[in-house]
Structure 1
Amino acid sequence: MGSRKEQPKDLPNKVMELCKYGKVYKKISKALQMPVSTVQSLIKKWKTQGSLDPKPRSGRPRNISAKTARRIVRDTKENPQVTSGEIQAALEKDSVVVSRSTIRQYLNRNELLGQVARKKPLLCQCHKKAWLQYDRQHLDLPHIFWHTNLE
């Protein structure tokens, strides 16, 4: 059984108007340029259900609201180093219970996966002294030396 397309909102109403005026299926289908079977199914649905509104979709409801999902993304963009555990703790303060894996899924959907800041080299005092000593030793060398060795 194939999937079906959902009709535009105004089309079923037009079908029902023409049906109420006493038009036959074939004339309705020609007037609206749609298959007779679609006209038949729309009228049958209206007679059995009383309305042409689409039924709610089946499936598991979302864990968090759209507002909370936007907040997760916004917090991560503001601070890329924040972990899913820290986001979870911040949400728990506002009484929103979400697992870390759910937070990561929302970040993955928004292409914010693996947000880690670039690491800065940890230089101690001896490293800085060695750097300065190197600079002083090679101070008299031409400008080309610095561009070839340091790039």
Structure 2
Amino acid sequence: MYETLNIPPSTIKSIIKKWKEYGTTTNLPREGRPPKPMDQARRALTREETKRPKTTLKELQSSTAEIGVSVHRTTLSRTLHRAGLYGVTIKKPLLKEKNKKTRLVFAKRQVGNPPNIWKRVLWSDETKIELFGHQGKRYV
């Protein structure tokens, strides 16, 4: 029968099973709460996230509240995942303009120095340690 209808045999078996169990082949009501009607908010959310990719979920939540749709952060995350947008954890703080300028000035001053000057420099790593808080990580 599946060859004449050009339908996979598993589909025919599931239709027959549904008919035997429920007496109908129409779609049955599904479990769970239906999703909120937020088409406009979904489009605005993906638009904002593609414009500013470093936006946090909390900021996106407040921007959707301005539109008039109150949505949980996990719902926002799921919506972004369905749109193909995924978050990453930023582990290092981004350089500020002031730091970039001072580093550039320092590098330009060191251009003419001989290489053996660096033997007299004591090198150390700076580490920022926070006992409480989220240690500068942002999920964007």
Question: What TM-score do the two structures reach when normalised by structure 1?
Answer: 0.47
Higher relative contact order (CA 8 A, sep 6+): 2
Higher percent of residues as helix = 1
Of structures 1 and 2, the larger Rg is shown by: 1
